[in-house]
């Protein structure tokens, strides 16, 4: 297989003046951890993507993508543009913004500081482009949080980083697979901290974001949303349901949302799987992602709600053990790119 990559040799300060108005959506795809499967699954999907679906911009060192292409036995031509010609973003090509690979060689299959730095550099550039309105959306390849924390110890994850960069106060993680959708009330917290983090306003905000997304992006005119209880049996063994979750559900109903709960999680996810609800709001990370990944381990997509731009990602990690062996499954990345394109199309149809 063969496909073209346009490479930009420039300083990031020139980015504000490079993009022409495009009738096609522009998606930036981040590098992810270069030692993981991100570059491989990205190239796998792009080698099959129709060129008129979108204008694609990869963000990362060309040498890493070359290494990934070699492992996949993919051949591609490189067209290097000088900085004065940057406005010629190629709509029918795969574009690439080359980040200099300095400070050493990236490490395959292990946690390393240079991998973390490259992951973060790619994310920073993509976040800038999206926050400035220069691209319509971002698809983020998987990063290793421990590697990024060797560079920025306070790094939590893509979701929190993009919300901070874009000054977004109200955001949520929604996991999507066909009609099985789960939004998390809390995300990356130790389990013992979840009860103290929950509040009526927090849960209400996640319900509202979920309902708005279902209407705006998924074509559900009157979405049915179920809300998980925190404790077993829907509140038999705790007070959070009566004190926090029920008031949030009542407030959501007053705002016009068709919402039910709190329901025991062991009941709720069965009902969601059967199609009796359009989405669920879970109280903590593993409560929602356990059933989701059982159903959609290879095809699930992580979507950030509330940002001023579209952001999706594959619902898996860096998979160091299979990196650069042509064994990585690209299904989730393909689903992430496809969902991003559909979401951007929905936004553009309203402009």
Give the Cα separation of 240 and 224 in Å (integer).
23
pLDDT on residue 100: 81
pLDDT on residue 99: 85
Q: Which helix (H) or strand (E) holds 335?
A: helix 331-349
Cα dihedral: 129, 2, 23, 181 (round 10): -70
Give the relative orientation of helices 62-72 and 38-46 as an angle to the nearest 10 degrees.
Answer: 70
| Homologous superfamily in CATH for domain 170-305 | Isopropylmalate Dehydrogenase (3.40.718.10)
Q: Which helix (H) or strand (E) holds 325?
A: none
Looking from the CA of 264 toward its CB, the CA atoms found within 13 Å total 9
Name every residue whose Cβ is closer than 8 Å to that of residue 183 and which is 6 or more positions away in sequence.
172, 173, 174, 175, 206, 209, 210, 279, 280, 281, 282, 288, 305
Same fold, 1-168+307-351 and 170-305: yes
Select from 22, 47, 42, 23 the least CA-distant residue to 32: 42
Give me the residue spans of the domains in the chain: 1-168+307-351, 170-305
DSSP assignments along 194-262, one per residue:
HHHH--HHHHHHHHHHHHHHHHHHS--SS-EEEEE-SSGGGTTT-SHIIIIIHHHHHHHHHTT-EEEEE
For residues 201 and 251, the answer to whether their CB atoms sit within 8 Å is: no
Sign of the Cα torsion 342, 294, 49, 158 reads positive
pLDDT on residue 88: 53
pLDDT, tens digit, 9 for 90 and up, residues 251-277: 999 999 999 999 999 999 999 999 999
1-168+307-351 in CATH: which number? 3.40.718.10
- Omega cis (within 30) before 269: no
Give the Cα separation of 86 and 10 in Å (integer).
8
pLDDT on residue 51: 66
pLDDT < 70 stretches in the chain: 1-23, 51-52, 76-90, 92, 351
Q: Which helix (H) or strand (E) holds 19?
A: none
The verdict on pTM exceeding 0.85 is: yes
pLDDT on residue 186: 96
pLDDT on residue 79: 44
């Amino acid at each position: 297989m063969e496909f073209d990559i346009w490479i930009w040799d420039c300083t990031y300060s020139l980015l504000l003046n490079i993009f022409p108005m495009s009738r096609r959506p522009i998606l930036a795809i981040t590098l992810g951890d270069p030692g993981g499967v991100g570059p491989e699954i990205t190239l796998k999907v792009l080698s099959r993507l129709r060129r008129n679906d979108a204008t694609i911009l990869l963000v990362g060192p060309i040498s890493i993508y070359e290494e990934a292409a070699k492992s996949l036995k993919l051949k591609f031509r490189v067209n290097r543009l000088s900085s004065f010609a940057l406005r010629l973003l190629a709509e029918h090509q795969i574009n690439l913004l080359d980040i200099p690979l300095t400070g050493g060689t990236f490490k395959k299959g292990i946690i390393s500081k240079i991998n973390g730095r490259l992951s973060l550099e790619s994310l920073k550039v993509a976040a800038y482009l999206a926050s400035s309105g220069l691209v319509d959306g971002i698809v983020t390849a998987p990063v290793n949080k421990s590697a990024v924390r060797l560079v920025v110890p306070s790094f939590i994850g893509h979701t929190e980083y993009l919300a901070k960069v874009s000054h977004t106060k109200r955001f949520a993680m929604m996991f999507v697979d066909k009609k099985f959708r789960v939004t998390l009330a809390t995300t990356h917290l130790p389990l013992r901290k979840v009860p103290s983090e929950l509040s009526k306003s927090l849960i209400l905000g996640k319900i509202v974001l979920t309902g708005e997304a279902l209407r705006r992006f998924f074509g559900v005119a009157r979405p049915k949303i179920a809300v998980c209880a925190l404790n077993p049996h829907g509140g038999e063994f705790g007070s959070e349901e009566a004190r926090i979750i029920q008031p949030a559900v009542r407030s959501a109903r007053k705002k016009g949302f068709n919402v039910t709960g709190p329901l025991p999680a062991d009941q709720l996810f069965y009902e969601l799987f059967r199609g009796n609800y359009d989405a669920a709001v879970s109280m903590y990370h593993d409560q929602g992602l356990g059933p989701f990944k059982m159903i959609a381990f290879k095809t699930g997509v992580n979507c950030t709600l509330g940002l001023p731009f579209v952001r999706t990602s594959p619902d898996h990690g860096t998979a160091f053990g299979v990196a650069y062996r042509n064994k990585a499954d690209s299904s989730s990345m393909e689903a992430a790119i496809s969902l991003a394109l559909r979401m951007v199309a929905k936004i553009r149809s309203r402009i």
